[in-house]
Amino acid sequence: MKSSVPRLVIVTEIIAPYRIPVFNALAAKPEVSLHVIFLSENDPTLRQWRVYKDEIKFSWQVLPSWRKRFGGRGVLLNSGLHRALNHARPDVVLCGGYNHLAYWQATRWAKANRTPFILWSESTSFDRRPKYRIIEFMKSRFLNSCAAFLVPGKSSSHYLEQLGIPSALIFTAPNAVDTCLFSKLSTAARQDETRVRSAHNLPAHYFLYVGRLVKEKGIFDLLEAYAQLSPEIQKQTALVFVGSGSEQAELAKRASKITSGRVQFLNFMHREELPAIYALADAFIFPTHSDPWGLVVNEAMACGLPVVASNVAGCTADLVEHASTGFVVAPADVTALTSTMKNLAEDSTLRTAMGRRGRARIDQYSPAAWAQGVVQAVTSLCSK
């Protein structure tokens, strides 16, 4: 006999470290029975994330896959999805996008089996990817196959409403990281500050960027803004980049021309290594030109940092309250970015107050809050 608890199957791309805590939180909810189908363990062509299988506390599987990257676009093909769905017998299917063939196969399976289908969408109206007519047509067809939509925040909800989706079909599950882990490890790093600074050769004061070193993240804007700070501020406060990417060599070349200050590069770091770097920074800078969310902002706020973020980042509308938890700037506005960095560098009281308010706000963006948002979407569909 089938359980009265709705069976939810999530189809998503990879076992990303930031997804495990939210899936664990959902699996702990008595209102749903969870199974996750991953299309691949990881995508080494983009990121070097570890796969923390030992932390997984939910039912899961990985489909056989073939992955290839052509220029800037990746192709991921899978086998066995229909068989996996038939075995799982979901009451609701939640799908993490529409950019892979498997997601379209999932919609067909849901339609054939009269199973409600939810799209988990992070897209926003600020997305700067090219809008090809055929892609927009296919997107429209995919949206029409969905019974409901799950979004991380205000920007993605507004985007769906612009596409004509009724607000009653949109449910919010706020994007989250393991806030407790980042808070705990950052506190420990501050208590062991001397050793941590020595281990990473960190300056006494620094602005911090964490992410891929690619142009669309606004990294050259950040470097130029730092270069325009006065020599006195540059000597007092360094700029630290954490990450890797195609523009790393060019960024380092331009940084070498800044003689008054210090620009430091740390390679890609895994989740458990990052809190120590966040903890000792003065502020976190996220000058992206296009980003559906930006979970590094969640991480920085969980570590108690004030945040400077561009207004096109999906997370900004929810997390960064201008002059309260941080500052909001327009993308590529180097002048505004320089002015904001100057204010933060010169005012330690302001930095502390913003970091404290941000730390309080990010508690609302926890794995438990994400899980509750999903439960609301699933139970709403099943009650109908």
Task: Tell me how far apart the alpha carbons of residues 157 and 216 are, in angstroms, rounded to a whole number.
Answer: 23
Task: Tell me how far apart the alpha carbons of residues 12 and 284 are, in angstroms, rounded to a whole number.
Answer: 29
Task: Tell me how far apart the alpha carbons of residues 139 and 149 are, in angstroms, rounded to a whole number.
Answer: 14
Task: Tell me how far apart the alpha carbons of residues 244 and 266 are, in angstroms, rounded to a whole number.
Answer: 8
* pLDDT at residue 137 in the model: 82
Helix, strand or coil for residue 311? coil
Helix, strand or coil for residue 355? helix
Task: Tell me how far apart the alpha carbons of residues 296 and 284 are, in angstroms, rounded to a whole number.
Answer: 9
Q: Which residue has the tokens 């199974």?
A: 35
**Who's near 66: CB < 8 A, 6+ residues apart?**
76, 77, 78
Residue 272 C-beta-side C-alpha neighbours within 13 Å: 3
Residue 175 burial (C-beta neighbours within 10 Å; 0-12, 13-18, 19+): buried
Residue 302 main-chain phi, psi, to 5 deg: -65, -25
* pLDDT at residue 1 in the model: 42
Rama region for 323: left / alpha / beta (φ>0; ψ in -120 to 50; rest): left
Cβ(66)–Cβ(91) below 8 Å: no
Nearest to 82 by CA among 121, 37, 116: 37
**Who's near 164: CB < 8 A, 6+ residues apart?**
none
From residue 301, alpha-carbon distances to 99, 117, 189, 282, 359 in Å are 30, 33, 15, 12, 5
Residue 277 main-chain phi, psi, to 5 deg: -75, -40
* pLDDT at residue 4 in the model: 83
* pLDDT at residue 46 in the model: 73
Residue type, 373: G
What is the token pair recorded at 48?
């070097």
Task: Tell me how far apart the alpha carbons of residues 310 and 328 are, in angstroms, rounded to a whole number.
Answer: 6
* Residues in the chain where the model's pLDDT stays below 70: 1-3, 71-72, 128-132
- Name the DSSP letter for residue 365: S
Structural domain spans, the chain: 7-177+366-378, 179-362
* pLDDT at residue 72 in the model: 65
Task: Tell me how far apart the alpha carbons of residues 367 and 266 are, in angstroms, rounded to a whole number.
Answer: 28
Cβ(150)–Cβ(11) below 8 Å: no
Residue type, 127: D
- Which superfamily, per CATH, for 7-177+366-378? Glycogen Phosphorylase B; (3.40.50.2000)
* pLDDT at residue 74 in the model: 80
* pLDDT at residue 284 in the model: 98
Residue 283 main-chain phi, psi, to 5 deg: -160, 155
For domain 179-362, which CATH number applies: 1.10.540.10, 3.40.50.300, 3.50.40.10, 3.40.50.2000?
A: 3.40.50.2000
From residue 128, alpha-carbon distances to 17, 290, 325, 362 in Å are 26, 6, 26, 27
